[in-house]
Amino acid sequence: MTAKLTHPTRRALLKSAAGAALATPFLSIRAAAETVNLSMLAWYGHAEPDVVGEFEELHNVKFIPKYYTGGDNMLGLIAQSPPGTYDVILSDAEYVQQLNAAGYIEELDPNDYAFDDFFPEFQRFPGHWKDGKLYSVITRFGFLGISYNAEVLSESDAASYNIFGDSRLTGKLGHFDWHLPNLGQISLLNGNPDPFDLSDEAWQQVQDSTMALRGQVGGFFDYGGTFSSLKNGQMTAFAGIGDWITGVLEKNGANVRTAIPEEGGLQWTESFSIGKGSRNQEMARKWIQYITSPEGQAKSADMAAYPALIPNKKGWVQLNDANPAEAKRQNMVLGSRNAIDLIREGRIKYRQLPVQQSLEDWNDFWSDYKGA
């Protein structure tokens, strides 16, 4: 048999060559006719094989990702491209309203998506709906608290934002370089019930409390810098981040974690929308259905780039079956005290854009703080 394959007779060779030649056009026609290129505008990691691989194979789709860093960057990219450039758009909750106001996203049909499987808190997420119409479907979320090096600080140390002023953190407190989560946490420390809806007086107090921490700060870091300075122990604690950073490090063996202090934590929320004028709306809809299904949700929770909590209750069940360790690590075990209880106890506030001040005021203060 091997001899036949390595030294085929003339007839066998002709036969297989002819067969291959006849079959080739069918293969390429099939492939060309069905592969859909789906463009995705998202944070890094959302269109990587560990998340989209199975869907790509299932529906003969190829994702064309465009990754952004931050909501402003995302809005800028959409503003500068012709309508229909992006089929699916992943956005943080506070920017969905702006996407909608600018007319960048399509209205969605709520019946297309399995909202009944979601925890009640996430069935009508604020900002995703406007005048009873749906514009974006929540896919994942996470909490921001005090991220710390567990070799230096204990869990009880990290039980209050007051630890940021502790002498052990002088020169060892890192900031993720974005004003919204950092100032929101200081606002929680100041006891504001809604950390982003601040009177001028409360806003001034947040600025004063923040400025008082300036001497503690060891640096202002981007995504990569945050990772490395937590990993090599250069920073002992971080403000403005959560398990989306420490979870990745923890899974790689670093002794760092995130605690939600008694003053409360913030929640970031990601959702998918369909870009206005997209030519692949059918496939975009299928993608959102997939990523919010139990299978898609379990993948999303354990995404390699950064892990997250998931809003689909059936997704929790799936995750607990497929990956119980990760479900436990992220506190997503049904029947015990879990992440949803934190929300129900009122300890988690949604991250939002400032309500009474302009975004520019917050920006300006943040650059003053950095330069001080």
Partner 1 sequence: MNTRPSLFSLTFSLPLLIWQLAFFLFPLAFLVALSFWTVRNFQMQPDFDTVNWVKIYSRSVFWDAYFRTLLLASASAVLISLTAFPASYAISFKLGENAKRWMIFVLIIPFFTSYLVRVYSLQVFLSDAGILNAFLGYLGLGPYSMLNNSFGTLTGYATLCLPLVILLQVFSLNFVNRDLVEAAHNMRCGRLRTVLEVIIPSAKAGLVIAGLFAFILSFGDFVSPLYLGGGNPPTLSIMITDITKSGQQWPRAAVVALTMIATLLTVAFAAIKFAYREAGK
Interface residues with partner 1 (CB under 8 A) are 69-70, 72-73, 75-76, 79-80, 102, 171, 177, 179, 217-222, 225, 228-229, 232-234, 359-360, 363-364, 366-368, 370-372
Q: Which residues contact 357 (CB under 8 A, 6 or more apart)?
A: 198, 200, 203
| Ordered DSSP codes for 286-342 | HHHHHHTSHHHHHHHHT-SS---B-SBHHHHHHHHHH-HHHHHHTT--TTSS-HHHH
* Closer residue to partner 1, CB minimum distance, 216 or 280: 216
Distances (CA, A) of 351 to 12, 188, 312, 354: 68, 11, 20, 9
Both structure tokens of 163:
């630890």
**In angstroms, what is the minimal distance from the CB of 235 to partner 1?**
8
**In angstroms, what is the minimal distance from the CB of 154 to partner 1?**
20
* Closer residue to partner 1, CB minimum distance, 201 or 360: 360
**In angstroms, what is the minimal distance from the CB of 175 to partner 1?**
9
**In angstroms, what is the minimal distance from the CB of 277 to partner 1?**
17
**In angstroms, what is the minimal distance from the CB of 201 to partner 1?**
23
* Closer residue to partner 1, CB minimum distance, 341 or 368: 368
Kindly give the interhelix angle for 294-301 and 313-322, rounded to the nearest 10 degrees: 60
Class of residue 172 by CB neighbours under 10 A (exposed 0-12, middle 13-18, buried 19+): buried
Determine what percent of the chain falls in helix, strand and coil, rounding each to the nearest 5.
50, 20, 30
**In angstroms, what is the minimal distance from the CB of 155 to partner 1?**
22
Both structure tokens of 372:
């001080």
**In angstroms, what is the minimal distance from the CB of 216 to partner 1?**
11
CA separation for the pair 300, 306 (Å, rounded): 9
**In angstroms, what is the minimal distance from the CB of 58 to partner 1?**
35
* Closer residue to partner 1, CB minimum distance, 73 or 154: 73
Q: Say if CB 339 and CB 143 are below 8 A apart.
A: yes
* Closer residue to partner 1, CB minimum distance, 95 or 118: 95
CA separation for the pair 166, 240 (Å, rounded): 17
* Closer residue to partner 1, CB minimum distance, 223 or 290: 223
* Closer residue to partner 1, CB minimum distance, 109 or 222: 222
User: Dihedrals φ, ψ of 352, to 5°?
Assistant: -140, 170
Picking from 284, 337, 334, the residue whose alpha carbon sits closest to that of residue 137 is: 284
**In angstroms, what is the minimal distance from the CB of 217 to partner 1?**
6
**In angstroms, what is the minimal distance from the CB of 193 to partner 1?**
27
Class of residue 96 by CB neighbours under 10 A (exposed 0-12, middle 13-18, buried 19+): buried
Distances (CA, A) of 73 to 82, 203, 225: 16, 26, 19
